[in-house]
Amino acid sequence: MNSADVLSLCKRRGFIWPAYEIYGGIAGLYDYGPLGTAMKNNIIEAWRRAYTLGEGFVEIDSDTIGPEAVFKASGHVDQFADKLVTCTQCKTPFRADHLLKDKHPNPGALNFEELDAEIAKHGVACPDCEGELSRSEEFNLMFKTTIGPGSAGRVGYLRPETAQGIFVNFNSLLRYMRERLPFGVIQVGRGYRNEISPRQGVIRLREFNMMEAELFVDPNDKTWPRFRDVRHETLRLVPNEPGDKEVVMSLEEAVEQRVVANETLAYFLWFTQRFLIMVGVDAERLRFRQHLKNEMAHYAADCWDAEALLSFGWTEIVGVADRGCWDLSRHIEFSKVDMSVLMRYDSPVEVEREVIKPKFNLMGPEFKAKAKLVGNALEESDPKEIKGDHIVVLVEGSPLKVDRKYFDVVKVKEKVPGERVVPHVIEPSHGLDRIMYTCLEHAYTEKQDKEGNYIVMRLSPISAPIKVGVFPLMGKEELITPAGEIDWTLRMNGVLTSFDDSGSIGRRYARMDEIGTPFCITVDYQTLEDGTVTIRERDSTEQVRVRKDEVVAILTSLLCGSADFVSLKAK
């Protein structure tokens, strides 16, 4: 099996196919067909429920386009505004302005033509191999656009991740969450990166689907209440130590041995693992690898990738990062809006401290109009700065010596309700397209039969786009009618079915196997006699006969995992 087989099936059966094919296609753009869309929605729904119902996160939906300031603050503009030249010999890319550092007073300000001219003028060659350099070109992974008409428009970008949409809404979210940490916010949406060379099918796309969760926590408390419940669960980890050694350890061990930085991060590694396995990632082909220090994103303090073993090798499908306070601090800095949270003490702490109290009645005659300013400066000063008989304060930017006789030092008591902190962020960020592809590749099994390859997609019932195939054993009216009734009943109970009365029964089973439909119901002549139908399970191809009025209840429990086929068969 290779990725071409999977992609070929995806196209043939309507999961995923290259976009704009009638115009020759665009690398890095793929569309989801009917089955792919249904499956994608199933994965999203499972994820959404895990976070909102399971962990009490809230979901928002923010814009995909944003003004430049947002991405200046996030760091994305500067990370990708580089102008690059590439060596035509050894192919090493260099930042053009760096190469001109000694040759030009301000190379960072040059445009492409000027850079090329300067490089030619000074005969700059490749620092590595002396090879000739290519022309300079922009290297910016964000799609740039203009918000608003013409030259009056503001520079904007398509978001390279959904996360910023949560950070910029932090204050509104904090209010909504009644100003208490920790709280979590999720978002599902598209992100855009103008990749240099998209490859490997849907693994690197220019427009992609993400599911991101941002958990805001108290930086002084990265414990997690539910950690206790799962502390004995295990993770397969590759810590960032020399040798790339893989270790299996419990969450508890991982945190105690400081392999994983804190409980919350460890909990969400496990949470991610559970989700991935639930939607159909093979547990044997899943591990978590810690980012190397030099690999870490500009915002991350620690980061673990969930990696799936695909035909391309180990591939990142989820990143679980401790982003620290990077994002919020940057938005505070750039927007000048406070985004700190008051962590209240159990009861307000009464503290006594010394403050400077200006004697305005004496200062008036001395400092005249500036008396008020001087007084304010004194109030803001620390009594520790008093030097003998005077203190130096800053008034309108210049130091001013103020004599001791103009102020008193008094003790005041004040109540401090808590400490203001900028929350830290734990971010599980999921590449939905990659997860979906992983589910498809891990589900793909083929065996030889007389026709050639017989393909079964062993998709998880949760992800499978079609849940049940409903067939009359043969295309006869007396069988089609009752089968049609069962099909209708299932659909009206929220189970997506596929009704098929064409060709042979074997062909119809095969068709369902190839798109991963977990169960098939067949109405045969016995149904007409005793009202029973058969349920066939995809992976074992075994059948069990049940009363047709029980079909909905049985299938519903089979699909959600509260019943399993083996014990149903034993009954």
Determine the Cα–Cα distance for residues 305 and 502; give it in Å rounded to an integer: 46
Q: Does 18 bind RNA (CB under 7 A)?
A: yes
Position 62 contacts RNA (CB under 7 A): no
Residue from 473, 483, 490, 558 that binds RNA (CB under 7 A)? Answer: 473
**Residues 417-456 as x/- pattern, contact with RNA by CB under 7 A:** --------------------------------xxx-xxx-
92 touches RNA by CB under 7 A: yes
> Contacting RNA (CB under 7 A), which of 53, 350, 506, 562?
506
485 binds RNA, rule: CB under 7 A: no
480 is a contact residue toward RNA (CB under 7 A)? no
Nearest to 271 by CA among 218, 316, 215, 220: 215
544 is a site residue for RNA (CB under 7 A): no
- Strand 444-449 with 452-457, pairing: antiparallel
Shortest Cβ 298–RNA spacing (Å):
4
- Pick from 204, 222, 424, 442: which binds RNA (CB under 7 A)? 204
The answer to the question of residue 66 lying near RNA (CB under 7 A) is no
Q: Please pick, from the candidates 33, 66, 156, 160, the single residue that binds RNA as defined by CB under 7 A.
A: 160
Categorise residue 150: left if φ over 0, alpha if ψ from -120 to 50, beta otherwise: left
By CB under 7 A, residue 134 contacts RNA: yes
Q: What is the 3-state secondary structure (H, E, C) of 60-119?
A: CCCCCEEEHHHHHHHCHHHHHCEEEEEECCCCCEEEHHHHCCCCCCCHHHCCHHHHHHHH
SS3 annotation, 249-285: EEHHHHHHCCCCCCHHHHHHHHHHHHHHHHHCCCHHH
Is 4 a residue that touches RNA (CB under 7 A)? yes
Under 8 Å between Cβ of 520 and 509: yes
Confirm or reject binding of residue 3 to RNA (CB under 7 A): yes
Give the nearest distance from C-beta 193 to RNA in angstroms.
4
Of 446, 465, 468, 439, nearest in space to 565 by CA:
468
Distance of CA 102 to the CA centre of its chain: 41
Q: Among 376, 493, 504, 557, which residue sits at the site for RNA (rule: CB under 7 A)?
A: 504
Quote the CA–CA distance of 165 and 320 in Å, as a whole number.
Answer: 18
Query: For RNA, which is the closer residue by CB, 297 or 395?
Result: 297
Sole window of 279-287, 358-366, 469-477, 557-565 interacting with RNA (rule: CB under 7 A): 469-477
| Phi-psi category of residue 41: left, alpha or beta, with phi > 0 → left and psi -120 to 50 → alpha | alpha
* Nearest partner of 162 among 32, 44, 269, 275, judged by Cα: 44
Cα 59 to its chain centre, rounded Å, is 13
| Contact status: 11 vs RNA (CB under 7 A) | yes
Among 97, 116, 118, 161, binds RNA (CB under 7 A): 161
Quick check: 482 binds RNA (CB under 7 A)? no
* Residue 28 makes contact with RNA by CB under 7 A: yes
Q: Is 477 in the site for RNA (CB under 7 A)?
A: no
Find out whether 237 and 290 touch, Cβ atoms under 8 Å: yes
Question: ∠ CA(534), CA(536), CA(539), 5° rounding?
Answer: 170
Least distance CB 317 / RNA (angstroms): 13
Other Cβ atoms less than 10 A from the Cβ of 345: the count is 12
Residue 19: count of CB within 10 angstroms of its CB: 17
Span interacting with RNA, options 43-51, 180-188, 239-247, 508-516, rule CB under 7 A: 508-516
Task: Decide: is 247 part of the binding site for RNA (CB under 7 A).
Answer: no
Given the complex with RNA, which of 58 and 297 has the nearer CB atom? Answer: 297
Residue 197 touches RNA, criterion: CB under 7 A: yes
Question: How many residues sit in the footprint of RNA (CB under 7 A)?
Answer: 67
Query: SS3 helix, strand, coil % of the chain, rounded to 5?
Result: 35, 30, 30
Which pairing describes strands 532-537 and 519-523: parallel, antiparallel, or unpaired? Answer: antiparallel
Residue 405 lies near RNA (rule: CB under 7 A) = no
Q: What's the DSSP call for residue 317?
A: E
| Least Å from the CB of residue 476 to RNA | 6
Nearest-angstrom CA–CA distance, 462 and 439: 11
We find the least distance from the C-beta atom of residue 489 to RNA, in angstroms, to be 18
Interface residues with RNA (CB under 7 A) are 3-4, 8, 11-12, 18, 24-28, 75-76, 79, 86, 91-93, 134, 141, 160-161, 193, 195-201, 204, 295-298, 300, 312, 449-451, 453-455, 473-476, 502-507, 509-511, 514, 522, 524-526, 533-534, 536, 541-543
